Structure 1
Amino acid sequence: MLSNNSQIQNYLERIGFKGTLDGSVKTLSDLQECHLHTVPYENLDILDHIPLSLDPQDVYQKVIMRRRGGYCFELNALFGWLLRELGYPVTDLFARFWRDEPNTPPKRRHHVLKVEAEGAAYLCDVGVGGILPRRSIILIEGIDQRQGEECYRLERDPYYGWVLCEQKNGEWNKIYSFTEEPQLPKDFIFASFWCENAPDSIFTQNPMVAIRTPEGRNTIAGREFRIFSSAGVRTFTPQNQDEYKAALLENFGINLD
């Protein structure tokens, strides 16, 4: 298991965190935002048929030492470990991902974190490829929580529990829902195995790579790289595997060699 101070320091250096570790809500949000700007969301190992491990030591080696990314079962498990080591009470939860789901209701296939700080509970998540809160969301129903140009709100459903919603074009849309039943690390193994191996899993179809940037975000659609900034969207498609690897390294910090 992960445990020592050097591993914590390596983690903080990996995500570029230079703040004060005081257990505050601000520090919690700063850690989350740093994570989303430095660690990419990616499913490249799944596409290459490399089995994923959810063991914290294995994920640490992949994400921190090899400077790769991952998806929710990897990234939120590792982020949860860091937060616990820093003194935050953390509960692992299962979520149903509603955004872009053609066959509702969605299955439980997303890992999120409930984190306590300064006497309140917060939703934290560093494991989504699309746009999501970059700072922690307080678990209070019905209040608008604005983050820059984005706005989020938590609603309550009698069956699905908490529902994280985003405001788009004046309307509120579901991102995902979750209940507060605590989960053990082994509870995520079956869901992760399905995501890795099921023929109808979105993770086995095409590359899913994304990262926040100071100017916007970088993503991949098929083999097309999309660089979003305040100036608009720049797209390009690498012409060979060497160009593809170079673009991954430049735009996501991913080194496949």
Structure 2
Amino acid sequence: MNNTCDSISPQVQAYLDRIGYEGPIDGSAEVLAALQECHLHTVPYENLDILNRTPLSLEREALYDKIVMRHRGGYCFELNALFGWLLRELGYTVTDFVARFWRDETDTPPKRRHHVLQVEAEGQLYLCDAGVGGIVPRRPIRMIEQVEHPQGEECYKLERDAEFGWMLLELHRGQWRRLYSFTEEPQLPKDFLMASFWCEHAPDSIFTKEAMLAMRTREGRNTVAGQEFRIFSGKDVHCFTPQTPEAYDEALLTYFGIPLASR
């Protein structure tokens, strides 16, 4: 891995501007963490294209146009694919894995329908993920078993499961519970096509039911479930339902930075 990035292409610089990152580019673990945190605070998790029956593309050029140029978001197969591209352009060694998402799953073991990244920084391996709508690590998790990672009011750790490989756990009300699991079989971009197609089209896919949006903020997080917006700030939450399509679009711009013209 390169320790420095001497020249940044205009495309990469536009991506860094999109996520509001203005720091150094030195291949360090600290920069990696800052990039992931910036991404989570600026690029929303959203399934609006699926609901509008706009076909998804996992091609890098299409993802770049959607996320960087049109200020949209996406879901894991889109967000982590493009974030992985950015990290590679900045000199990091990135490996793509497919994961089983356990949180709130009633049909266990769950199917493989999540995309995660393993990133090498300063000789260490980290789990990176910018593609979950729920609460997940805001900073990379070092891939060592049973090491607790407090992050604000949240706490995470990785353990090994004999059947499912790496298991990311979250501390929830004093108990450790499964978040997602993955094995160390590297995936090619084409390996995510079938899982993404299922999420986009299957009748029992959660992504086809109603609008799901989420984005971290400095104060908390903003979410949408169906028509209801929920704005979390500290321990307070403000819920409201826009009464017109115009008000809905205005709320999308205000709380998620999604302009109407980009959809």
Name the TM tier (shorter chain): over 0.9
Corresponding residue for residue 63 of structure 2? 59
Q: CA deviation at 1:106?
A: 0.3
* SS of match in other structure, 2:155: strand
User: 1:109/1:117 Cα in 2 relative to 1: closer, same or farther (>3 Å)?
Assistant: same
Please give the TM-score of this superposition, normalised by the length of structure 1. Answer: 0.98
Q: CA deviation at 1:231?
A: 4.8
Corresponding residue for residue 249 of structure 1? 253
Q: CA deviation at 1:256?
A: 2.6
Alpha-carbon distance between aligned partners in 1 of 2:234 and 2:149, rounded to the nearest angstrom: 22
Select 1:239's aligned residue among 239, 243, 248: 243
Alignment of 1:165-204 (within 5 A): 165-204=169-208
Letter in 2 for 1:115: V
Q: Over aligned residues, Cα RMSD in angstroms? A: 1.0
Alpha-carbon distance between aligned partners in 2 of 1:222 and 1:58, rounded to the nearest angstrom: 26
Select 1:75's aligned residue among 65, 79, 84: 79
Corresponding residue for residue 123 of structure 1? 127
Alpha-carbon distance between aligned partners in 2 of 1:244 and 1:79, rounded to the nearest angstrom: 28
* SS of match in other structure, 1:189: helix
* SS of match in other structure, 1:28: helix
Letter in 2 for 1:32: Q
Letter in 1 for 2:85: W
Corresponding residue for residue 27 of structure 2? 23
Corresponding residue for residue 38 of structure 1? 42
Q: State the 4+ residue runs in structure 1 displaced beyond 6 angstroms.
A: none
Alpha-carbon distance between aligned partners in 1 of 2:182 and 2:140, rounded to the nearest angstrom: 16
Letter in 2 for 1:64: V
* SS of match in other structure, 2:11: helix
Alignment of 1:202-213 (within 5 A): 202-213=206-217
Please give the TM-score of this superposition, normalised by the length of structure 2. Answer: 0.96
* SS of match in other structure, 2:260: coil
Question: Unpaired segments of 5 or more residues in structure 2?
Answer: 1-7
Corresponding residue for residue 10 of structure 1? 14
Q: CA deviation at 1:255?
A: 1.4
1:96-137 CA-partner distances (Å, limit 9, x unpaired): 000010110000000000000111100000000000001000
Letter in 2 for 1:29: A
Corresponding residue for residue 139 of structure 1? 143
User: 1:248/1:123 Cα in 2 relative to 1: closer, same or farther (>3 Å)?
Assistant: same
Corresponding residue for residue 4 of structure 2? none
Is 2:100 aligned against 1:113?
no
Alpha-carbon distance between aligned partners in 2 of 1:29 and 1:20, rounded to the nearest angstrom: 12
Is 2:171 aligned against 1:162?
no
Alpha-carbon distance between aligned partners in 1 of 2:113 and 2:207, rounded to the nearest angstrom: 11
Letter in 1 for 2:38: C
Alpha-carbon distance between aligned partners in 2 of 1:78 and 1:237, rounded to the nearest angstrom: 32
1:215-243 CA-partner distances (Å, limit 9, x unpaired): 00000111010000115000110001000
* SS of match in other structure, 1:127: coil
Letter in 2 for 1:96: R
